[in-house]
A and B are shown apart, each in its own frame.
Chain A
Amino acid sequence: MNARDILDYLGIIPLLPLAGAVILLLAGRRIGEPRAGWLATGMMALAFLGSVVALFALLSLPADGRLQVNQVFTWIPAGTFSVGMGTQADPLSVTWLLLVTGVGLCIHLYSIAYMHGDPLFSRFFAYLNLFAASMLILVVADNLLMTFLGWEGVGLCSYLLISFWYRRNDAATAGKKAFVTNRVGDVGFLLAMFLIIATYGTLEYTAMAPAAEIISAGTATAIALLLMVGAMGKSAQLPLHLWLTDAMEGPTPVSALIHAATMVTAGVFLMCRAYPFLEVSHDASVVIMWIGAITALLAGTVAVVQPDIKRALAYSTISQLGYMFLAIGVGGYEAAVFMVLCHAFYKGCLFLGAGSVIHGNGDNQDMRIMGRYRKFLPVTAFAMVIAWLAIAGIPPFAGFWAKDEILVEAYAHGDYGVWIVGTVAALLTAVYMTRLIFLTFFGNARYEAADAAPAVPVVSGGSDEGDPADADGHDGDEDPFEDHPTVVFGEPPRPSRLHGHRPHESPVLMLVPILVLAGLSAVGGLLNLPFGKLDFLHQFLEPVFEGAKGVKATTAQKLTAEGLSVLMALIGVSIALLVYRRGLRSPDRDPLVDRLRPVSTLTGNAYYWDAGVTRFVGGPGERGASWLNRVFDARIIDGAVNGTAWLFQWAGRAASRVQDGYVRRYALGILLGTVAVLGFVLLWAGR
């Protein structure tokens, strides 16, 4: 079998986890814990193996011939339009395959331990496998519609996994919000596909490059921007980012897999596929670049003051995704993909590490009551410190190479505006990550002080109705925070839930994936070193972006941009160290928040965008819809129907009064009728 034949079977890779999901959905409970977890993990391992085989098959082909499209069957034939199910093996899809299956495998493994004892253990793995299958379909697809199939599939799984603990009202609400927000983006995706159908008829990716040459620039801009709307939903870019932080309601491995490492990068993948349109449309590129830059900056300012470890990481993810779109906007597609990979390593590690911390901390996510946990969770601390250095942009860790390549591209491209914004965001990244690491692992230990603090009843934030908790006579020793793990900005510090115990390190099964990802965040830069022929990823991906007008940065430009960003990273780390080196004097005193008031109030509440949208939808939006229902539909439209019926009834009753049996009235009627008919006939005839 030669390499091309092997690549024709790329479709098998998504089918493996799909099979796992089907088995687990049908017979999961019988398979039980932990076998269900191992089955799902095994499927991921096989898929990873398949991806590695695909990589080698692809590498055995000459560099500019690495494209193998295989139409498996016709999916939707309608009139002159037809779209198939097929696979496209090229460096881009194989890179994503390796990413999804590799990081996915780590996170599956981690979940076996993390979800231990959960009554819905097997269902969790069914969803996880279904997610992986959808994500892989999204990636291997040879056309936009099939990518959309995977796109919506990951949306479904994201919904199911965010609201996995459905007994919690907040979790169920967050899942719904994620799906609905993503649907807003999906409208853009759909309209882009319609526009393509209307202009050149086929949704295949291989047709994009020739089409972009032919269609008008305006159409190319429209297609690119509509696809970007879809990407904004999935990849949580401003202003559609507001679902991602709520998505933290899901189990932490889910946050790591879906809401940090893989699914949120689907938008980047889509824009990479659609690069021919960006190449011909300068306008679309500029818009995308600025969306990315502004998202990177604003999300960074929000992350800086969050008290919740997962929420801080979520805003960090939004910010990092912003960098990727910035890269795409300036034409640095390879740089964006490099960033996707590195981000998956270090953010995966950070989320899994955060999961380990939360796990060892009695399910408490409040960083203000942590501190000095390196003593209790040394392995987690070690791994997260590496990931911290990576994301903060300290050389030689992975994040440095990835972020700097983007900033160099922006600088060399002459887009100084976004370059400055990106560099400032790099400073913020260093600040919030250092803060997170020091609040958690260094400084003073605060969990004992918090243990003594009295419990404060919680006020549910953001949920759209009263919580029906306790109505079913739940156990007596009710923890008021059990149903609200998320710590919102402005909330007083949570009481510790350790109940006198010490925080503890997680089992080996959880630590191994964390360490693997930490290792990758340390050396991930080797994939693409900016020296001579060492930029392997760049060389690998270059044929995909054939015809992209990339700018080759001069050494002076590289040094300027890189030097400045390293400087920014060091300044950021220093600022945070100055403030948080010793931890917090008291859990309710966060110096950065206190000193920066009222700015910190604004950024801590994410500029009130989320709250504003929630208030609008729940207020005027719901009132308007309710008016449509109660007044317009029931009274006006149906009122007209019933009114007409009533009119006929009334007329009928009035008419029936005439039929009262009095002969003289009948006679009169007959007489009048005859006269009328006679008169009519006479007049008619007389004409």
Chain B
Amino acid sequence: MGFPLLLAIIVTPLVGAVVVALLPAARTEVAKALGYAFTGATAGLCGYLLWHFQAGDRGFQFVYDQPWIPGLGVRFTLGVDGISLFMVVVTGLLFPLGLLASEKYITHRVKAYVAWFLLLETAIMGIFLTLDLIAFFVFWELLLVPMYFLILGWGSARRKYAATKFFIYTGLGSAFLLASTLVLGFLHQADTGVLTFDFRTLADWNGLSGSAEVLLFVGFMAAFAIKAPLFPFHTWLPDVHTEAPTAGSVVLAGVIIKMGAYGFVRFSFELFPQASVDLAPILLVLAVVGIIYGAVVAAMQTDLKRVIAYSSVAHMGFVILGIFSLTVIGIDGAVFTMVSHPLTTGALFLLVGMIYERLHTREIGEMGGMWNVAPVLTGLFIAAMFAGIGLPGFSGFVGEFLSLAGAFLYDRPFAIVAALGVIFAAVYMLWPFKRAFAGRASGAVVRMKDLDLREIVVVVPLLALSLFLGLYPKPVLDRIEPAADRAVRNFERKTDYRSPEESRDRRDTERRVEREQRRAEAREGEK
């Protein structure tokens, strides 16, 4: 075994957290510098990972495997595939930017802030990289702690309510996750005599009875649906977003809410294929409702940050829609959205944070006319807004398009209703934009300063990346594809589900059209 890269990605921020925590409280500058150093180093490791990841490989790469609690069969197994790869990379990218964005905003107890922030990164990396269910649960719970303290310590007015709500609500989901994990492990032991929580071993085992599988699927779903957040389990999200500090919101919207969707593809699909196939329509209904409902409610918000929070509900609806379309194209689209959404929504949250630092309000009614005084801020906001709306050319469109196409292949009504979300997306973004930015400047807005270089540097990379991936998504899709394909083949192998992409009728028409097309082109060529 070579250099344990994945272990290093998890441990680096952890070491950073410990080191920063041990610093004397007065050394603010050192704490910040160490924060940049450790998040930067982690980002570098992620870059290395991205560079050396084998695009065509369907399995897990960079696997690291050590016994952890031998008595319980718990191992510390790490691995990365096309689905987790980009979540890890995006996490690596967002954390240094998050620190940079906090530069002005976080002025008190900087040391503690940096330490919690680094611990948060460890938890997230662990969640996306671990392949042992118990270790996964440990990281899943570990995440709550730094997030709780970050909201409580550096949040807005109602931070206590929000922090508690987040902790208890998502913690409740975790309880179901733990119970289901244990039951799954013990059932496996009863059947085979081996106690293990290794995800790959459990996925290969198919000794679950139908009803047990459904119950366990629902247990996992409780955790994932709350975190996703799937309608109607979404109400914690706007509350937490409004109260969390900007960097917290960026990480929350960027990667934390992706963990639910990730859990479905990684664990539910492979562990409970039959239940996933059977219950897919229910999840699709919730996803479609979430898309429309999130958009409508987003349009009604008076707080700019809540608009974006509710828009995340709609966007995550698209992700779940793509995942449970059970098609390669849909899963491709969903995972791609999971990569793209952090970029666009991250940029929006950062910009709203910058507006808040200037006006000390997020109420749209107290803004108005910002376009006059802050053209750079407005220009970037327009770019981020249209990226969020899903304008082709930005990454959001690619994911949305593929998710919808997948859903259309699975069952048309889902896609037809969900496509209406495209209209509402324009409404909920353009309406607040008009009220906040157009018109004449008045009140505090008149004296508002435009963005400085640091702030531009924070936002531009996200938008540039979104634009690049919108025009050339191939490198990302090529890496997601084998894993998405593996998930669908897994269904076809273990259940009687058949992907509509492979239906013989469709294949026939496609081939005939292709043949005719080639013949016509040949005819043109002769001439």
Contact = CB atoms under 8 A, between A and B. Distances in A.
A169 B439 contact: yes
Contact of B524 (A67, A160, A183): A67
A625 B296 contact: yes
Given A80-B501, A645-B168, A190 B440 contact: no
Interface string B322-340: 0000011100110000000
Contacts of A457: none
A75 B392 CA distance: 12
Contact of B422 (A176, A190, A622, A628): A190
Interface string A164-187: 001101011101100110011011
Contacts of B398: 76
A183 B428 CA distance: 13
A437 to B, nearest CB: 35
Residue picked from A74, A151, A472, most chain B C-beta under 10 Å: A472
B472 A78 contact: no
A210 interface: yes
Contacts of B392: 145, 148-149, 151-153
Given A468-B440, A469-B440, A210 B423 contact: no
Interface residues of B, number: 82
Interface string A189-201: 0110111011111
A79 B484 contact: yes
Kindly name the residue among B235, B299, B409, B446 whose own CB sees the greatest number of chain A CB atoms within 10 A. B235
B236 A641 contact: yes
A78 B235 contact: no
Interface stretch (B65-73, B89-97, B242-250, B367-375): B367-375
Given A149-B393, A187-B420, A179 B440 contact: no
A185 to B, nearest CB: 10
Contacts of A167: 369, 371-372, 438-440
Interface stretch (A41-49, A211-219, A419-427, A492-500): A211-219
Interface in B355-396: 368-369, 371-372, 379, 382, 386, 391-393
Most chain B CB neighbours (cut-off 10 Å) among A76, A187, A628: A76
A628 B300 contact: yes
Interface of A is mostly: helix
Interface stretch (B214-222, B279-287, B504-512): B504-512
B458 interface: no
Given A194-B408, A197-B409, A214-B509, A180 B419 contact: no
Nearest to B503: A198
B520 A172 contact: no
A191 B437 CA distance: 33
Contacts of A214: 509, 512-513, 516
B204 interface: no
Contacts of B329: 78-81
B474 A75 contact: yes
Interface string A39-76: 00000000000000000000000101101010001111
B364 to A, nearest CB: 11
B440 A76 contact: no
A80 B301 CA distance: 40
B404 A202 contact: no
A213 B332 CA distance: 31
A77 interface: yes
A465 B297 CA distance: 19
Contacts of B474: 73-77
B405 interface: yes
A interface, size bucket: 35 or more
B18 interface: no
A474 interface: yes
Contact of A183 (B236, B426, B437): B426
Among A79, A159, A169, A180, find the residue whose CB has the most chain B CB atoms closer than 10 A: A79
A487 B239 CA distance: 45
B300 A625 contact: yes
Contacts of B506: 198-201
Interface in A66-118: 67, 69, 73-81
A204 B517 contact: yes
A5 B178 CA distance: 64
A291 B294 CA distance: 34
A167 to B, nearest CB: 5
A98 to B, nearest CB: 22
B435 A465 contact: yes
A149 B440 CA distance: 33
Contacts of A160: 382
B473 A75 contact: yes
A73 B517 CA distance: 19
B191 interface: no
B512 to A, nearest CB: 5
- Give the most central of B412, B426, B481: most A CB within 10 Å: B426
A629 interface: yes
Contact of B405 (A64, A197, A638): A197
B235 A79 contact: no
Contacts of B527: 62, 64-65
Interface in B417-451: 419-420, 422-423, 425-427, 430-431, 434-435, 437-443, 446
B434 A187 contact: no
B439 A166 contact: yes
B408 A210 contact: no
A68 to B, nearest CB: 8
20 contacts: A62-B527, A75-B471, A76-B477, A78-B332, A78-B477, A149-B392, A160-B382, A167-B372, A171-B438, A176-B431, A176-B434, A180-B426, A184-B423, A194-B409, A199-B509, A200-B510, A200-B513, A210-B512, A468-B440, A638-B235
Interface of B: 165, 168-169, 232, 234-236, 293, 296-297, 299-301, 327-329, 332-333, 368-369, 371-372, 379, 382, 386, 391-393, 397-398, 401-402, 404-405, 408-409, 412, 415-416, 419-420, 422-423, 425-427, 430-431, 434-435, 437-443, 446, 471-474, 477-478, 481, 484-485, 500-502, 506, 509-510, 512-514, 516-517, 520-521, 524, 527
Closest 9 CB pairs of A and B: A210-B516, A65-B527, A79-B328, A172-B438, A629-B300, A638-B235, A194-B408, A201-B510, A78-B332
Given A169-B439, A201-B513, A467-B439, 7 more contacts: A76-B473, A77-B474, A166-B371, A173-B434, A202-B513, A465-B435, A637-B232
